[in-house]
Amino acid sequence: MKSMKIAALGLMAATALTGRVLAQDASDETLDIGLMLTLSGPGAVLGEQGRDGFMLAVEEMGGKLGGVETNVTTVDDELKPDVAANRARELVERDGADFVVGPIFSNIMAAIAKPVTDAGAFLISPNAGPSVFAGEGCNENLFVVSYQNDQVHEVLGKYAQDQGFARVFLMAPNYQAGKDSLAGFKRSYKGEVTNEIYTQLGQLDFSAELAQIAAMQPDAVFTFMPGGMGVNLVKQYRQAGLETIPFLSAFTVDETTLPAQQDAAVGFFGGATWAPNMDNEKSKAFVAAYEEKYGSVPGLYAMQGYDAAQMIDSAVKAAGGDLSDTDAIRAGLEAADFDSLRGEIAMGPNHYPVQDFYLVKVAKRDDGKYQTEIQETIFEDYSDAYVDQCKMG
């Protein structure tokens, strides 16, 4: 990380070339942040929430994180690992980013982690939390603000176990995240798996799978079916008259899919570390500000983007605004001394959060909008399953 930044004229030129968003009155020393998220294609709604949450925090802090004038360069990873790797190098090598904040998807994180951290910058993930970086691949300059990927799926497995659901039907897309999701569910669930189906990635017609569920009559269904797949599955599940069988899911019914699912998703369960009805004053203020500014209900992605900005702010403050003191900034990130929208959290020794996890349920608000709402706490102060494999430093 550099102690002196480029001069104002150079900053304006860089802005013209990269679309950099400049804080007002930039001084000789500025904090440069590269915000790398998926902003095109089917995953764009996730990246847009992450971006909007992050930028809302920067705006509320007056364009300064840690008291230092802050420049944010926003780039689209296009959900393409090769594109992401090249743009990550540009952010740290050409644009001099002190922090790269991103990505949304784990395959992109695998592509950008090395070029970012090898260049001496910090990588702050507002969403992706793959197991490799929680365990043997942990890195002193890599921090995850969200969770380890398996954990949200574990929430539903524990809930199913606690409810005494003896027979559960499992379904996920046939790619690594889908396989990881079912493995996470089974880490907590010890009952009978009636069927474990891997559907085609991008599948939109689930009539065959729903027919199997109707025939088997399991005690519950668990699925990981994000994006448009989840929108269609939820609607078809309801149309098939299967709503009497509890629908448990992760990243299938949330604030990114509910605008399309609407009433079809009401009453369905998910897992989360936060929901828009979180009962603390800071979270309430965030939800109100986000809805006023962007006109939509924030989900986990927006909350995590906001907290990523808060975490950077706290770390730069811990270093007294000295951007050259990477050890002090790292210690500040490890301390996680900020008021998370989730309430109290801590940073584990693998740089993944230790936090509470909740069962959430879809509800329709009085104003006609849809959101997930916390029903009960499933895990308290929960560390991920890979932390003991991390041998950092």
SS3 state of residue 123: strand
373 shares a domain with 249: yes
Q: Within this chain, do residues 266 and 130 fall inside the same structural domain, yes or no? A: no
Residue 259 lies in a domain: yes
Q: Are residues 55 and 140 in the same domain?
A: yes
One domain, residues 236 and 303: no
Q: According to the model, what pLDDT value does residue 202 have?
A: 86
Which residue range is the domain that position 310 belongs to? 8-147+279-351
The predicted pLDDT at position 279 comes to: 95
Q: Torsion over CA of 117, 336, 329 and 321, rounded to 10 degrees?
A: 130
Point out the residues of the chain with pLDDT beneath 70. Answer: 1-28, 393
- Pair 34, 130 in one domain: yes
- Indicate the number of domains in the chain: 2
Name residue, tokens 């990873």: 77
Q: Does the residue 335 lie in any domain? A: yes
| CATH code at position 169 | 3.40.50.2300
pLDDT of 42 = 81
Q: What is the pTM of this model?
A: 0.91
Q: Are residues 104 and 175 in the same domain?
A: no
Instruction: Assess whether 222 and 365 both reside in one domain.
Output: yes
166 close to 219: Cβ distance less than 8 angstroms: yes
- DSSP H or E stretch at residue 373: strand 370-382
Residue 380 lies in a domain: yes
Say yes or no: 133 and 181 in one domain: no
Long-range pairs, 310-315, Cβ under 8 A, ≥24: 310/57, 310/338, 310/339, 310/340, 311/124, 311/143, 311/145, 311/336, 311/338, 312/31, 312/33, 312/65, 312/66, 312/99, 312/101, 312/124, 313/57, 313/61, 313/65, 313/66, 313/338, 314/66, 314/338, 315/66
CA distances from 213 to 6, 12, 95, 184, 222 (A): 61, 59, 52, 21, 11
Within a domain: 1: no
> How far is residue 142 from each of residues 132, 322, 352, measured CA to CA in Å?
12, 19, 9
If asked whether residues 212 and 267 sit together in one domain, one would say yes
Query: What pLDDT is stored for residue 68 in this prediction?
Result: 97
- Whether 393 maps to a domain, the answer reads no
Query: Is 377 contained in some domain?
Result: yes
Closest C-alpha among 370, 324, 366, 331 to residue 347: 331
Same-domain pairing of 346 and 361: no
Residue 199 within any structural domain of the chain? yes
* 147 alpha carbon, distance to own chain's centre: 8
Co-location of 172 and 298 in the same domain: no
77 lies in some domain: yes
Same domain, 31 and 179: no
Max CA pair span of the chain: 69
Is the CB of residue 181 less than 8 Å from the CB of residue 172?
yes
